[in-house]
Amino acid sequence: MTPMQPSDGVAWITGASSGIGREVARRLLDEGWTVALTARRQAELAELARRYPASRALVVPADVTDAAAMKSAHARIEEIAGRPVALAISNAGAWRRMGAADFDVAAFRHQIEVNVMGTAHMLAAVLPGMLARKRGQIAIVASVAGYVGLPLATAYGASKAALIHMASSLRFESEKTGILVQVINPGFVKTPLTDVNKFPMPFLLSAEDAAARICRGLRGTRFEIAFPWQLVLPLKITRLLPWRLFFAAARAAGSRRAR
């Protein structure tokens, strides 16, 4: 169970057209990886790919919510590259704030389809080959919002908690399968998804900073890549509290931010 290197095969990243995915893809390309870029927006993928040799920046558009499309994208990547997918980064994500007053089943389903089922479709595509080779690396981008219930994150937080659970369950099998499984839990990162937020976002990081931290973590073997610590640590502590104390602490923190 070791981190993959550019010589091991291709890095495949979803959600590569903007934000964290785009910056991680760019860094991996700069590190010498052959990177398969997947998202729905082909023009944005092509714009990034133009900066690199065509043999190393592979534009393979697909919708992560379409299982057949993801399976076809995986086959296409390995056909073009002539090498297997060694590093799979499930990064495509959807976010919409949601609480009791604006609870919407369609919006809830969309976030589950993109965030959870999109990851499942990528896993279904890459796992058979990795299991056969007994080598590979999978990184699932979740969020610190998956640690505990947070205000107005009814759907998003639920989807990210599911991803953390999914990754940790798969990690148990890492030693016998040879597949390194990691979860990435960022805090607030400035991306097109968070640009719509009207509430305070403490310790907001740039996408470039987040990508640097992620790529550094991918070169190691620890299960969780989480940042920034100023947000990660308090959330991890609060999830250990009894529920009565947790809600009291959360309300107090919310009141301080509102002042």
Angstrom CA distances, 207 to 3, 23, 26, 155, stand at 23, 7, 11, 23
Query: Of 33, 147, 156, 188, which one is the catalytic site residue?
Result: 156
Q: For 242-253, write each residue's pLDDT tens digit.
A: 999 988 887 776
What's the topology of domain 6-258? Rossmann fold (3.40.50)
Band of pLDDT at residue 59, cut at 50, 70 and 90:
very high
Residue 116 neighbours by CB distance under 10 Å: 20
| Closest C-alpha among 137, 189, 190 to residue 28 | 137
Active site (annotated) includes residue 156: yes
Mean pLDDT, to the nearest integer, of 145-156?
89
C-alpha of 245 from chain center: 30
| Closest C-alpha among 21, 80, 233, 64 to residue 147 | 233
